[in-house]
Amino acid sequence: MVQSIVAVDSKTGSGLITFFINVDGQGCNEDFSVTIDGQTFTNHISHGAEDNPAGSIQTTKGGVGDRSIVVTAVTSNVSSTARLINL
Segment 15-63, tens digit of pLDDT: 999 999 999 999 999 999 999 999 999 999 999 988 889 999 999 998 8
Residues 21, 68: contact at Cβ < 8 Å?
no
Count of domains forming the chain = 1
CB 55 within 8 A of CB 21: yes
Q: Which residues pair with 36 in a beta bridge?
A: 39
Q: What is the mean pLDDT of residues 61-82?
A: 95
For the whole model, what pTM was predicted? 0.93
pLDDT, residue 50, reads 85
CA contacts within 13 A on the Cβ side of 17: 32
d(CA 60, CA 70): 16
Range of the structural domain that residue 59 is part of: 2-86
CATH of the domain at 38: 2.60.40
